[in-house]
Amino acid sequence: MMASVSAEISQDTILVGIGASPGIAIARSHLLNRARVAGIERRILPTEVDAEIATFQAAVDKAKTHLHEVKEQAADQHAEHLYIIDTHLLILEDQLLINATIDLIRTELLNAEGALSRTLRRLRQVFDSISDEYLRERRSDIDSVGDRLMRNLLGEVRENLATLTGQAIIVAHDLSPADTMQLDRGKVVGFVTDVGGRTSHTAILARSLMIPAVVGLENITTQVMSAEPMIIDGTAGTVILNPSPDTFREYLARKQRYEYLEKELLAYQVLPAETEDGHRIALRGNVELPDDIAAARAQGVEGIGLYRTEFLFMAASVPPSEEEQYLAYRAAAEAMAPHPVTIRTLDVGGDKFVPELNLLDEANPVMGLRAVRFSLKEGHLFRTQLRAILRAAVHGNVRVMFPMISGVAEIRACRHLLEKVRLELTGEGIPVGPLSIGIMVETPAAVLIADVMAREVDFFSVGTNDLIQYCLAIDRGNEHVAYLYEPLHPAVLRALQRVCAAARDAGIEISICGEMAGEQLYSLVLIGLGFSELSMNPASISRVKRLMRRSTLAEARELVGRLLELPTGAEVVQALEAEMKRRFPQIFETSHF
Ligand code: PEP
Ligand code: MG
């Protein structure tokens, strides 16, 4: 049994952070000094400028050499993640970082550390103002590279994680992706950090290495020292300091069960997605950037059910050209063929802000000029995107999907433009491929006239993230009303039932691509409602498939029938949780909801 070496921490102290990588780890802590180092500003003489720039350049070169070494070492184990190191190498070439620092040395007569500090501060401010979580998290890449440069300038040696002697949970202010790649899987059984979010590159790597991790704990580095016993639950996002013998035993048992279930999950990657009675349901992936495609394939997705193309626009400082878009869509189509790739046209506005598209300053952007409304108004952007999609369709099974449709007139306007663009391309002698045409059903209007809409398109995909928001009149980003955001509200269930019925009657495909699709609590409900396709975060595919393969369609339908009778969302949740716990006690015993 482990004994605590810390007198101040009371037994079973629970800290709550963000679960960045699931699983349970039990070990002693190893505190790693990764606090950000500050560069002290100092004025230099004009005669010192050249020497200071040379010092800075040497720090940059050293950082590059180190990253190349990490890349070489990691080439076998982490081939699919080497792009992260490439991203850091690119940052080391970036004018906004390197040239800006050199300019400050020269024009402001600042020492290299001071100039670097100022440049980093400015860059961080720019990143902090971005509202999109994924892009904002890219700030951690700048931090990581900046910190490496600063340590090189100050001549500090970073403790190398490859030299750990026993099993440990790493406790650090932050870990860089390079640190994470160098973790020795035999020794590092988990990690916890003060900063970071679920979509930081370090968190992404932890998930792919299958190392449990909890991030965003704010000040864990000030609460523990090295060699203290601790437990982390990366699924729940909790850390237990100084565990009591009972807690220790309980978590050891949970860990064993979790690991057994995880091993079992691997087998599901290659099994067909069908119910126990042989009813096939397509499980597809939601992707945001070209890099996501390979990871989605590795999870066994049957095509892409939602390609959020606005991320291509957010990731660049100018809108991507027709050629750039064509290449991105074509690569996806080729990688997934013969399975479909569903390309959703630009969905900006609302909470997705792309500064260079000059969106209007609206009082109520979520109900404003967003998604397809914006595309139809900004015809030139829309045409460029449609041209790229039609060209990419030559290379695979491509579907186009229009977001936030609220009436038939919008579908017709989109189809009209699509036809015009197709003729244009043909006239120019450029090959175009066949396209299935679908819409996102995410407004109450689309639900209410789903039967009419179904005659106009080849498929529906329900965007529950927005549909719940509009159906219940709950801003999905407003924490004050978050308690009312109920995916199982009877109104939402009935809306889903209605859309599925309309699709079935019209004989068109019916998909769901909101976050609900990837949450295993809802899997049987969605199958019972009649969805023929679920599109989700690729990492959720095996979990959903496991539940699906252990249930029959009739059971799922019977469950939905019962839930539809209940008057409140709370009662629906209660009944569903009870049913899932009864049928799958191991899977639903802890925080898997
Ligand atoms: C949705 O609204 O459910 C959806 C999938 O689209 P997004 O989250 O990109 O708005
Ligand atoms: Mg949406």
- What's the rounded Cα separation, in Å, for the pair 342 and 333? 9
Going from the Cα of 411 to the center of ligand 1, the distance in angstroms, rounded, reads: 18
Mean pLDDT of 116-125: 86
Kindly report the CATH class assigned to 46-154.
Answer: mainly alpha
Going from the Cα of 347 to the center of ligand 1, the distance in angstroms, rounded, reads: 9
Q: Is the pLDDT of residue 92 over 90?
A: no
150-154, 197-201, 292-296, 406-410: least confident range: 197-201
Structure tokens at 292: 């996501």
Q: Is 173 left (phi over 0), alpha (psi -120 to 50) or beta?
A: alpha
Mean pLDDT of 94-121: 90
3-7, 46-50, 419-423: least confident range: 3-7
Nearest Cα residue to 489 out of 579, 580, 564, 588? 564
Going from the Cα of 511 to the center of ligand 2, the distance in angstroms, rounded, reads: 14
Q: Is 414 a catalytic residue?
A: no
Q: Is 395 a catalytic residue?
A: no
123-132, 261-270, 511-520: least confident range: 123-132
Q: Is the pLDDT of residue 99 over 60?
A: yes
Contact yes or no for 346/381 (Cβ under 8 A): yes
Kindly report the CATH class assigned to 274-583.
Answer: alpha beta
Task: Indicate whether residue 167 lines ligand 1 (CB < 6 A).
Answer: no
Task: Indicate whether residue 308 lines ligand 1 (CB < 6 A).
Answer: yes
What is the pLDDT at residue 358?
61
10-19, 154-163, 242-251, 470-479: least confident range: 154-163
What is the pLDDT at residue 199?
64
Q: Is the pLDDT of residue 161 over 70?
A: no
What is the pLDDT at residue 125?
79
Confidence band for 154, pLDDT divided at 50, 70 and 90: confident
Task: Indicate whether residue 464 lines ligand 1 (CB < 6 A).
Answer: yes
What is the pLDDT at residue 265?
87
Q: Is the pLDDT of residue 7 over 60?
A: no
What is the pLDDT at residue 2?
41
Confidence band for 177, pLDDT divided at 50, 70 and 90: confident
Domain 13-31+163-243 has CATH 3.50.30.10: yes
Q: Which segments of 159-270 are extended strands (E)?
A: 168-172, 188-193, 213-215, 229-233, 238-241
* Residue-range domain boundaries for the chain: 13-31+163-243, 46-154, 274-583
Contact yes or no for 424/473 (Cβ under 8 A): no
Ligand 1 atom with the smallest distance to the CA of 350 is: 10
User: Are the folds of 13-31+163-243 and 46-154 the same?
Assistant: no
Structure tokens at 4: 């605590």
Ligand 1 atom with the smallest distance to the CA of 442 is: 2
Task: Indicate whether residue 466 lines ligand 1 (CB < 6 A).
Answer: yes
Task: State which H helix or E strand residue 399 sits in.
Answer: strand 397-402
Contact yes or no for 192/220 (Cβ under 8 A): yes
- What's the rounded Cα separation, in Å, for the pair 273 and 220? 42
Nearest Cα residue to 296 out of 230, 341, 251, 348? 341
Ligand 1 atom with the smallest distance to the CA of 465 is: 3
Residue 179 makes CB contacts below 8 A (sequence gap 6+) with: 34, 161, 172, 202
Q: Whose CA is nearest to atom 4 of ligand 1?
A: 463
Going from the Cα of 362 to the center of ligand 2, the distance in angstroms, rounded, reads: 18
Confidence band for 3, pLDDT divided at 50, 70 and 90: very low
125: exposed, middle or buried (C-beta count within 10 Å: 0-12, 13-18, 19+)?
Answer: exposed
Instruction: Give the range with max mean pLDDT: 56-70, 132-146, 409-423, 476-490.
Output: 409-423
What is the pLDDT at residue 159?
64
Q: Which of 201, 339, 395, 489 is catalytic?
A: 201
Q: Is the pLDDT of residue 6 over 60?
A: no
What is the pLDDT at residue 146?
87
Q: Is the pLDDT of residue 592 over 50?
A: no
Mean pLDDT of 460-479: 90
Q: Is the pLDDT of residue 33 over 80?
A: no
Going from the Cα of 549 to the center of ligand 2, the distance in angstroms, rounded, reads: 29
> Between residues 58 and 186, which one has the greater pLDDT?
58
Task: Indicate whether residue 513 lines ligand 1 (CB < 6 A).
Answer: yes
Task: Indicate whether residue 465 lines ligand 1 (CB < 6 A).
Answer: yes
Cis bond leading into 338, ω under 30°? yes
Exposure of 470 in the CB half-sphere (CA atoms within 13 A): 24
549: exposed, middle or buried (C-beta count within 10 Å: 0-12, 13-18, 19+)?
Answer: middle
Task: Indicate whether residue 463 lines ligand 1 (CB < 6 A).
Answer: yes
Average pLDDT, the chain: 88
Q: Is the pLDDT of residue 128 over 90?
A: no
Nearest Cα residue to 197 out of 21, 34, 352, 18? 18
Residue 56 makes CB contacts below 8 A (sequence gap 6+) with: 101, 102, 105, 112, 115, 116, 149, 153
Would you tell me how many other CB atoms lie within 10 Å of the CB of residue 138? 18
pLDDT tens column, 435-467: 999 999 999 999 999 999 999 999 999 999 999
pLDDT tens column, 551-577: 999 999 999 999 999 999 999 999 999
Mean pLDDT of 178-186: 76
* Ligand nearest to the Cα of 461, by number: 1
Q: Is the pLDDT of residue 1 over 50?
A: no
Q: Hey, which of 313, 351, 465 would you mutate to test ligand 1's pocket, going by the most ligand atoms within 8 Å of its Cβ?
A: 465
What is the pLDDT at residue 9?
75
What is the pLDDT at residue 262?
83
Mean pLDDT of 250-272: 89
pLDDT tens column, 356-405: 676 677 888 889 999 999 999 999 999 999 999 999 999 999 999 999 99
Q: Is the pLDDT of residue 593 over 80?
A: no
